[in-house]
Amino acid sequence: MGTEKEIEIRERMTRLWLGSETAVRAFVAAAVSRVSDREDVVQQTALTVARRFEEYDENRPFIAWVLWLAKSRVVDYYRDRSKRPQALSEQLLDALAGALVERRDEHSPRAAALEHCLEKLPERSRNLIRSKYHEGQRIEQIAEAVRSTPASVRVTLFRIRESLAECIERRLALEGGE
């Protein structure tokens, strides 16, 4: 590589990737519970983007294409481990990717701070949030799944939400956002 045109293509790909990386990370975080595995899936997605960038149709949104690639890497992740996603079906992954594409233009500093703060939560807390808000499970279902009482789950979710709110406010104050 080295021609001016090749350099322009590489720079364009990098700009597009950097503009969509937060959405890719959020998508992968919703689908893969282990932090180290998440990073591997995000890196595999980035490599796939680099290898297949010439296939990208510039008449379509880049975010939709890159999330389609991320979904493929998530499916590969579970296939390679001879596992099925614990709670995420392929249809749910499609719906999540679609929602991220639709909301991409609305991506506010508060939403970015929320994504950051969700990633910082302990895995157990993220799983409770995912069960309640991504999967729409009732408190009683969650309590049964985690072998706890509904009252305990309610209190834990309340504390997690408070923690997230504080984290978001700190993050916004640091970044001078909203």
| 120 in the same domain as 59 | no
* pLDDT given for residue 45 in this prediction: 95
Predicted TM-score (pTM) above 0.75 = no
Same domain, 54 and 64: yes
Quote the CA–CA distance of 27 and 45 in Å, as a whole number: 11
Helix H, strand E, coil C: the string for 72-103 is HHHHHHHHHCCCCCCCCCHHHHHHHHHHHHHH
The domain that contains 164 carries what CATH number? 1.10.10.10
- 97 shares a domain with 130: no
Domains identified in the chain, total number: 2
- H/E element holding 46? helix 35-52
pLDDT on residue 95: 62
Tell me what pLDDT residue 1 has: 47
Query: Both 83 and 140 in a single domain?
Result: no
Stretches where the chain sits below pLDDT 70 are 1-2, 82-108, 176-178
Task: Please check whether residues 23 and 100 belong to one and the same domain.
Answer: yes
Q: Which domain holds residue 150?
A: 108-178
**Residue 47: which CATH number?**
1.10.1740
| Cβ atoms 145, 131 nearer than 8 A | yes
